[in-house]
Structure 1
């Protein structure tokens, strides 16, 4: 296992070596060969509004297509994100969806749904069935997404109705710990061919249930996506899309406490690692509904417009006992932090985009511009009490939430945060020569924050708090396509991020990135690869004032530099190899932290928590015969720090998996899959308590899938 980083690095270097030896065009007799695997000629999606392909975009762009999601066995969109270069995503309670990428975490990584930037709490992973693809763009991408995303952006794209007359698919899955899922999807034409107005509908539904490997943790989730595509005229179409998600988890798992002493490599009691120290009636629930109205209009052969109007409504409920720590001699576990909260969120907005192809002094050029308006309102209703209790980890009664003193007291709304964003953006690609192109973009945001305090008014917590920001962000990049199958690029981009505190008058924090890279095909188009090197700087975020520990000052700074490699190679007609590897060096340049004693210490030079220096993936897929396909996979994640002082570490881990698929006929296949073959004990995430948020042990799964 210790050698996997080297193996992943060697795999990543293979395409580079092959590139040096042999670069061949990807055309034969004027026709393009099949896509080699990295979707370099697919639309870059979230990376640009110009309709460019991944190859044409001077930025790190990776896409997990629907076929990739199915081949790699991704169960949630988090699993799909983890197949992309450098991404380490997990789903610890209270974080929605946590992502570490390019040395940054949390709000520095934007997670979008269908190109719409929403509250991070809504990014809790759900079943991958309703998603068509997951897109990743590296580095600052505020140009596309608005404020935030200094480290990068993930975009989860839902399946939509297509112009297929009829298509249907279904899947039944059963696995370890009574994990079961049922899913189906259908796309159908609602009108006869040749009708003046054409309508197509798609419906996807999935239901998942499981009894977790963690004691008493049970989950049930529903996902539904419906869309109606209407071709009103040959040039005008409208799509109505509705998505609904409902998740219910009983006695959620909040982590496994680490043993004392809490220094160096943190350890857990493996015998009791699946204990659930939450109360018996602990609860997590989430209900989310999306509605989108999308208009696509081709004004002429050179000009198109797109308008997306949307409404989002979400409600999340927590009721848990959340913090667990061993006593001094590790004989008992002290439980605390009884916390109940409801988050109610609503977001309404509109995105308008206009794209135009033209020429400028004889040079080909494409313009894209538009505006965005959105209002995001979130109200929280929290209540927490100490909830202290001590239990024997070998035998204990978990108790009930409302038996804890003071949990039955009434509580009301805390605050309502309303953020109104108005934005203008413009982007351009100019073909300087037939091989060299220039990409530029600029975005202006006007952001208004209005905080309403529903509790007792004090000098530090007024009834209303208002603040406005007007950041300008942008990007400039050059792409040189020196042969048809290979290019190099250089890019500079910037980002802006709202301050996390809402009670002090801070300006936005800023970020910038330099990146160089290449995207190419090799070995007569049987392989494709990407390589990128970058440096990111983020500054002016809030840190503790060393002169006044009760105050924050906007002087924080951090940086990261790294390399990312990805490749897909058809070694033989029957053997496919895919992999990626990422290395990052991330550190705080200026960061002060208030510790338990009340003192303020500098963390300059330290690595942020939950940031692995190396992440690698490798897949080998082999077609034994026309009906049989099998494969193996490996994932490596380097050790991470659990504290800002960098005195506590969580060990690295390597996961292996395998699958075997039998094609019953042209429509139906049966797949058996084993995850975590070696039954590795590992932490997906390190809580600050500190505690491990454990990943799944070895599990088995059998799936039957059919398509018509």
Structure 2
């Protein structure tokens, strides 16, 4: 193990129970910053959760690895967007290189193999998961391993669910935040939750959250502006009937987006960059990324009886994304000039409409508790893209001394916009879930889901059209045994179904014409416990996942593909939170992973080469997080944090890699009065130069943020 990860372990202490999870809230814990409220009081595994089950099981009752970064956690770790929150969860490595949107590696899988959902809805397109500023989000939930039984096709590696704030009956509050950081990064946010009326009859509660962020960016010429709005209205229409209307809107614009830093030649072994050009931007002057998204949800809850409840959720999503960039850069053989190529202009128009009906019932069977969930889900996911790309060389420039030029200077990029491909995916699903108590301490949790998928794709340039249909049956079965009131053990078997091509939303005819659904299966065992009279909590999970039937190069035809691939991932995840003293909290997580291809062929220069035994690209073998928080006085809090990510491979041959990195941070927080909090946070304390992502096709580092200082004023009334 490297010196860096060993340093992390020493910081936590020799006991594995010191590895923590405040910032990931085991699975939904919150930790107060006040010394008068010891953090350990909130570390409960017995809070009902929506993630991992439609029965709202607690973490202790669920036979699965579940982690949650809630609102208090996001504030404690200084999460600026939901990807920062996701990276606080065990084993997750998320980044946002342009063109990929939200890129997540987890349990040996990446891209579309890890589902990203918004309030339980899967848009089935990675570009839709661009990291949104954290202010409007209530929590980020993580479910490990195959989870098609819960969220539909995909999710062989796991599911991330980003959950926005909603109006509630619990409290009335007004809060605001002002922030400023290096690179002229500015944040302004406001939010409130209010009861709109009093007295008898229907009661109404409203919530509004808004944030705006602007930044000049740590890369030359890269500027970003984003605004987020979330509004919800909760109406208790009667004692049995309530309705929630939720609307979210995001607008984001990034000028001259950073597409990565080219690596030096020779491109082999440990990849290197010219650190003197660390902040150089090789995109054109007027490069652009824009995103506009709208969400609408109508949620109706009706209580049929004390034990039976009906919920109907209608959801609508509309998103438009625009790209206009020069994306690929490579050094000349002698590393004196950089060649710029890969001009790309694209628009995505995506719309999703759906409805989910759920019935839950808490009953008994053979004298034991037996809880049920039944449901029907239908949605239509439509997308049309308008692509224009030219892969030819545009120019060669001298690093540090060049004019970026403009997009229309690239020959051929002024052509009128025209449709490229349109897809429509209709999915109808039936699902059932049950928790059956077998004894006072032993329970069986099972789920089954059937998906019928109707898909059609039109390639407008050629006029080709294809219709396909697939049927998938997925599920899970797990046992939970409560050894005592503090410790539970579990085991589970779960399966997944994966669309050919990874995601149907952007699939071409060639990717789906002759292929069936891929499959995944997982065996997982684990434990969840409280210890030392509630001062700490911990979770442990060990798993083995096998993914089958994904496209690989035909060994008999280097220009063709067949569906025969297989990948195996095995790993261990440990997370814990421990109040060492009433003032000092240690929290964090660590994950070890072994992932390799069992059957995977790649065409290289027209020659078919087996990659058996090789590891997928951009998948770290180890990740670790650590947070230490000390309540110096009732109005003062100090903290330190560290994050370690091991090296990752940059190609399927595993002959190129980027080095591991460790990031350190410090923060101090002071309560000016009972309503106002002032904080300062130093990120990347050692100014580490590191790659959050490596572009495989163009071999470019996507560099992470350098050292920066952030000041924030947070007011609550």
Matched, 1:90 2:73: no
Matched, 1:427 2:436: no
Tell me what 2:484 maps to.
483
Deviations 1:306-358 (A, max 9, x none): 11001100000000000000000000000001000000000000011110011
Question: Does structure 1 retain, via aligned residues, the 8 Å contact 2:19–2:589?
Answer: no
Question: Does structure 2 retain, via aligned residues, the 8 Å contact 1:608–1:641?
Answer: yes
Classify 1:575/1:18 alpha carbon distance in 2 versus 1 (closer, same or farther; 3 Å): closer
Question: Does structure 1 retain, via aligned residues, the 8 Å contact 2:52–2:143?
Answer: yes
Q: What does 1:303-452 correspond to in 2, within 5 Å? A: 303-385=308-390, 386-452=392-458
My pick for the range that moved more, 201-210 or 293-302, is 293-302
Deviation at 1:620, TM superposition (A): 0.2
Question: Does structure 2 retain, via aligned residues, the 8 Å contact 1:8–1:580?
Answer: no
Deviation at 1:166, TM superposition (A): 2.5
Question: Does structure 2 retain, via aligned residues, the 8 Å contact 1:15–1:529?
Answer: no
Tell me what 2:593 maps to.
584
Q: Secondary structure at the match of 1:67?
A: helix
Deviations 1:61-92 (A, max 9, x none): 00001000000000000000000000000000
Tell me what 1:633 maps to.
641
Deviation at 1:551, TM superposition (A): 1.3
Q: 1:668 aligns with which of 665, 676, 681?
A: 676
State how far apart, in whole Å, the 2-side matches of 1:12 and 1:48 are. Answer: 34
Q: 1:268 aligns with which of 273, 294, 305?
A: 273
Deviation at 1:164, TM superposition (A): 4.0
State how far apart, in whole Å, the 2-side matches of 1:636 and 1:165 are. Answer: 38
Classify 1:509/1:422 alpha carbon distance in 2 versus 1 (closer, same or farther; 3 Å): same
Tell me what 2:515 maps to.
506
Q: 2:230 aligns with which of 209, 220, 225?
A: 225
Deviation at 1:12, TM superposition (A): 9.0
Q: Secondary structure at the match of 1:79?
A: helix
Deviation at 1:172, TM superposition (A): 0.1
Tell me what 1:563 maps to.
572
Question: Does structure 2 retain, via aligned residues, the 8 Å contact 1:257–1:325?
Answer: yes
Classify 1:17/1:408 alpha carbon distance in 2 versus 1 (closer, same or farther; 3 Å): closer
Q: What does 1:174-253 correspond to in 2, within 5 Å? A: 174-192=180-198, 194-253=199-258
Deviations 1:254-303 (A, max 9, x none): 00000000000000000011100000000000000000000111111110
Tell me what 1:147 maps to.
153
Question: Does structure 2 retain, via aligned residues, the 8 Å contact 1:38–1:529?
Answer: no
Question: Does structure 2 retain, via aligned residues, the 8 Å contact 1:619–1:632?
Answer: yes
Tell me what 1:492 maps to.
493
State how far apart, in whole Å, the 2-side matches of 1:14 and 1:705 are. Answer: 36
State how far apart, in whole Å, the 2-side matches of 1:698 and 1:40 are. Answer: 36
Deviation at 1:683, TM superposition (A): 0.3
State how far apart, in whole Å, the 1-side matches of 2:622 and 2:638 are. Answer: 27
Tell me what 2:618 maps to.
610
Q: Secondary structure at the match of 1:46?
A: coil
Classify 1:18/1:188 alpha carbon distance in 2 versus 1 (closer, same or farther; 3 Å): closer
Classify 1:97/1:18 alpha carbon distance in 2 versus 1 (closer, same or farther; 3 Å): closer
Classify 1:75/1:34 alpha carbon distance in 2 versus 1 (closer, same or farther; 3 Å): closer
Tell me what 1:100 maps to.
105
Classify 1:12/1:513 alpha carbon distance in 2 versus 1 (closer, same or farther; 3 Å): farther
Deviation at 1:37, TM superposition (A): 5.2
Question: Does structure 2 retain, via aligned residues, the 8 Å contact 1:627–1:662?
Answer: yes
Q: 1:653 aligns with which of 658, 661, 667?
A: 661
Tell me what 2:504 maps to.
none
Question: Does structure 2 retain, via aligned residues, the 8 Å contact 1:108–1:148?
Answer: yes
Classify 1:474/1:610 alpha carbon distance in 2 versus 1 (closer, same or farther; 3 Å): same
Deviation at 1:600, TM superposition (A): 1.4
Deviations 1:78-125 (A, max 9, x none): 000000000000000000100000000000000000011113221100
Question: Does structure 1 retain, via aligned residues, the 8 Å contact 2:324–2:407?
Answer: yes
Q: Secondary structure at the match of 2:401?
A: coil
Q: Secondary structure at the match of 1:6?
A: helix
Deviation at 1:453, TM superposition (A): 2.0
Matched, 1:157 2:160: no
Question: Does structure 2 retain, via aligned residues, the 8 Å contact 1:37–1:528?
Answer: no
Question: Does structure 2 retain, via aligned residues, the 8 Å contact 1:38–1:62?
Answer: no
Question: Does structure 2 retain, via aligned residues, the 8 Å contact 1:12–1:565?
Answer: no
Q: Secondary structure at the match of 1:624?
A: strand
Deviation at 1:550, TM superposition (A): 1.8
Question: Does structure 2 retain, via aligned residues, the 8 Å contact 1:352–1:370?
Answer: yes
Deviation at 1:409, TM superposition (A): 1.7
Q: Secondary structure at the match of 1:136?
A: strand
Q: Secondary structure at the match of 1:470?
A: strand
Question: Does structure 2 retain, via aligned residues, the 8 Å contact 1:77–1:126?
Answer: yes
Deviations 1:159-207 (A, max 9, x none): 0001146211000000100000000101111112x23100000000000
Matched, 1:624 2:625: no
Deviations 1:481-539 (A, max 9, x none): 01001100000000000001533221100000000000000011100000000000000
Classify 1:699/1:16 alpha carbon distance in 2 versus 1 (closer, same or farther; 3 Å): closer
Deviations 1:674-699 (A, max 9, x none): 00000000000001111100000000
Matched, 1:524 2:533: yes
Question: Does structure 1 retain, via aligned residues, the 8 Å contact 2:39–2:585?
Answer: no
Q: Which runs of 5+ in 1 are unaligned?
A: 20-32
Q: Secondary structure at the match of 1:47?
A: coil
Q: 1:129 aligns with which of 132, 135, 140?
A: 135
State how far apart, in whole Å, the 2-side matches of 1:18 and 1:635 are. Answer: 13
Q: 1:573 aligns with which of 578, 582, 585?
A: 582
Q: Secondary structure at the match of 1:572?
A: coil
Question: Does structure 2 retain, via aligned residues, the 8 Å contact 1:659–1:671?
Answer: yes
Deviation at 1:34, TM superposition (A): 7.7
State how far apart, in whole Å, the 1-side matches of 2:39 and 2:227 are. Answer: 36
Tell me what 2:474 maps to.
473
Deviation at 1:388, TM superposition (A): 2.0
Tell me what 1:3 maps to.
3
My pick for the range that moved more, 402-411 or 412-421, is 402-411
How many residues were matched structurally? 688
